[in-house]
Amino acid sequence: MANLALGAATTAAAELAADDGDTTGLFGWLFYSDGFHAPTVEEFFPPAIFGEGTIFEFNRIMLARVIAAAVLILIFWLVARKAKVVPGRGQSVVELMLDFVRVQIVEQVMSKENAKRFLPFLTTLFLAILAFNITGVIPFINIAGTSLIGLPIIMAIWVYVLYLAVGVKQHGLGGYLKLSLFPPGVPKGIYVLLTPIEFLQVFILRPATLALRLAANMMAGHLLLVLCFAATQYFFFEAAGAMKAMGTVTFAAGFAFTLFEIFVAALQAYVFVMLSSVYINMAIEEEH
Amino acid sequence: MTALSQIVVLAADEHGETAQNPLIPANYDILWSTVIFLIIVVVFMRVILPKLQKVLDERAELIEGGIKKAEEAQSEAAAALEEYTAQLTEARAEAARIREDARSEAGQIVSETRESAASDAQRLVETAQKQIDAERQQAIVSLRTEVGALASELASRIVGESLKDDARQQRIIDSFLDDLEAQVSSEKAKG
């Protein structure tokens, strides 16, 4: 569990090393501290690994994303490569996940034919979000790939474009606009109120909330973990006397929040994909 | 969300520098996000998920095929059983019919045999009767001849006179014999 703090500390350590440069070996670096550092938003803007200041700037969070993507693809490719009709243990776990997305999310929302049509993308989306989220609690990575707003925005835009395209394809441009901006079964006068709200909903709020919900959850989770473990580090190695005991409390909290973050990682993937299915379904359904 | 932005603002204040707003993506963030997400989507939707789906479809097909095969086998077995039952019933009926036929045929044979035996016996009896009649007739004829000769011999000896005159002789014998016959038949009629 100390590793979790370590990851968070890496960024700080990089700065510290640049500042002082007189840390004595690994041990000194590991337990070096110059007072309590509360986590800041700088957590999400770590120093660049290369390409600083350019559009190709590559930092720790990008690395976390690359690792998450590589591991995800590797695992699934290994399973898919030798997938058999009678599944082994690994294949069963993978199939369990695919079935979860299909049965618990997509088929709960859509009809089976529609589900079949959108299942590949929604499954990919679920697995990708789960992989990017879970890096937040993986030792030495310790930051969720989705905690920087860019990736959630890309995924939300993808869903946004998908449901708009599907809606226009299903109902025609006018038909889709009419269906989404002037929902049927409402007295005419209400449209004065309803249409602006629906416009906001369909064209701005849905993708915005998708991206923000995911990013904000992951940011908050990361800040919580960093806070807990930074405090633990401080209490154990710097605070005097009885204050050291406080470290156990913060450590226990950090442990609990780590478990909670695993849950949140899965929950946010579930919520994102569930809402995406709902939005797509709203676009293809005749009336809603 | 308000809590988050407060944290952001606080953090910015604490550092006394203009921190980046975490809700506005940096250009490099967008670039790398797009690249990485595109790679995942392409690999999963083009390669991995179709492969897994193929296996899942195969399994579904296999299971459905198995169920279908079992159903077919069951219906086949039921049909065979029905056929066997029908055949068995038919065989039993045939056996009964054959037994019945055999019984009636046997009866017929017995009665026919009995009839033919009876007619044979009748015929035998008739033949024997005819033979007996013929023999008796023959005996009567030969007896008449011999008795005549004997009687005339006897009479000639007694009378001492040869009754060589055949015609007269024959006339006498015949009348004698006729008398005798008449006598015998009258006795017979009496008896």
Is residue A8 very low, low, confident or very high in pLDDT (cuts 50, 70, 90)?
A: very low
More confident residue, A58 or A19: A58
What pLDDT score does B97 carry?
95
% of chain A exceeding 70 in pLDDT? 87
Q: Cβ separation of A77 and B25 shorter than 8 Å? A: no
Q: State whether residue B39 sits within 8 Å of chain A by CB.
A: yes
SS3 A40: coil
pLDDT in tens, A61-95: 999 999 999 999 999 999 998 888 888 898 999 99
Q: Which of A149, A161, A212 to mutate to test the interface with B (most CBs of B within 10 A)?
A: A149
Of residues A103 and B166, more confidence is placed in A103
List the alpha helices (DSSP H) in A146-287: 150-181, 191-200, 206-237, 243-284
* Rounded CA separation A84/A64 (Å): 32
Q: Looking at A13-27, A108-122, A146-160, which range is the least confident one?
A: A13-27
C-alpha of A2 from chain center: 23
HSE-up (13 A, CA, CB side) for residue B86: 6
User: Which range marks the domain in which residue A243 is found?
Assistant: 2-284
Residue of A nearest to B52 (CA): A80
Q: Which pLDDT value is given to residue A128?
A: 96
CB–CB contact A65 B15 (8 Å): no
**pLDDT of the residue at B3:** 55
Query: Tens digits of per-residue pLDDT, B60-86?
Result: 999 999 999 999 999 999 999 999 999
Shortest Cα–Cα distance, A214 to chain B (Å): 11
**Residue A16: its pLDDT value, please?**
44
Inter-chain residue contact A44 with B22, CB threshold 8 Å: yes
Query: B144: number of CA atoms within 13 Å, CB side?
Result: 15
Longest Cα–Cα distance in chain A:
76
Which of A124, A151, A212 is opposite residue B45, by nearest beta carbon? A124
Task: Kindly state whether B7 is in contact with chain A, defined as any CB-CB distance less than 8 angstroms.
Answer: yes
DSSP state at residue B21 = P
At residue B98, does pLDDT exceed 90?
yes
- CB-closest option in B39, B41, B48 to A76: B48
Tokens of A288: 């809603």
The span from the CA of B77 to the CA of B63, in Å, is 21
Pairwise pLDDT comparison (B82 vs A39), residue with the higher score: B82
Among all residues of chain A, which has the CA nearest to that of B13?
A40
Domain count, chain A: 1
CA atoms within 13 A of residue A256's CA, in its CB half-sphere: 7
Contact by Cβ (8 Å): A136, B15: no
Residue A10's pLDDT band (boundaries 50, 70, 90)?
Answer: very low
Residues of A with Cβ-Cβ distance to B54 under 8 angstroms: 83
CB atoms under 10 Å from CB of A98, counted, come to 18
Torsion of CA A244, A248, A254, A259, to 10 degrees: 170
B4, A73: Cβ pair inside 8 Å?
no
Distance from CA of A65 to the nearest CA of B (A): 7
Amino acid, res. A72: L
Top residue of B20, B37, B46, B47 to mutate, by most chain A CBs within 10 Å, is B37
Strands A48-50 and A58-59: antiparallel
DSSP letter string over B55-80? Answer: HHHHHHHHHHHHHHHHHHHHHHHHHH
Task: Check pLDDT > 50 for residue A19.
Answer: no
**Nearest-by-CA chain B residue for A211:** B23
A84 → closest Cβ in B15, B23, B55 = B55
* DSSP code for A188: G
Average pLDDT, chain A: 86
Residue A86 DSSP class: S
**CA dist., res. A264 & res. A270, Å (int):** 9
Q: Do A55 and B27 touch (CB under 8 A)?
A: yes
Q: What is the per-residue pLDDT for A32?
A: 63
Does B15 score more than 70 pLDDT? no
Q: In 3D, which of A273, A284, A276 has the Cα closest to residue A101?
A: A273
CB contact under 8 A, B41 and A58: no
Please check whether residue B23 touches A, CB under 8 A: yes
Q: What is the mean pLDDT of residues A38-42?
A: 82
Residue with tokens 């590991």: A30
CB nearest to A155's CB, from B7, B37, B59: B37
Inter-chain contact A72–B28, Cβ cutoff 8 Å? no
Q: Which of B1, B7, B28 sits opposite A223 (nearest CB)?
A: B7
Q: Where are the domains of chain B?
A: 2-160
Closest CA to A115 of A288, A274, A259: A274
CB contact, 8 Å: B133 with chain A? Answer: no
- Calculate how close chain B gets to A41, using CA atoms only, in Å: 6
State how far the Cα of A61 lies from the Cα of B185, in Å rounded to an integer.
162
- pLDDT, residue A4, reads 43
- A135: Cβ contacts below 8 Å, ≥ 6 apart: A64, A65, A67, A68, A141, A142, A143, A144, A145
Interchain proximity B19–A98, CB inside 8 Å: no
pLDDT per residue as tens digits for the range A202-219? 999 999 999 999 999 999
Which value, in Å, is the radius of gyration of the alpha carbons in chain A? Answer: 23
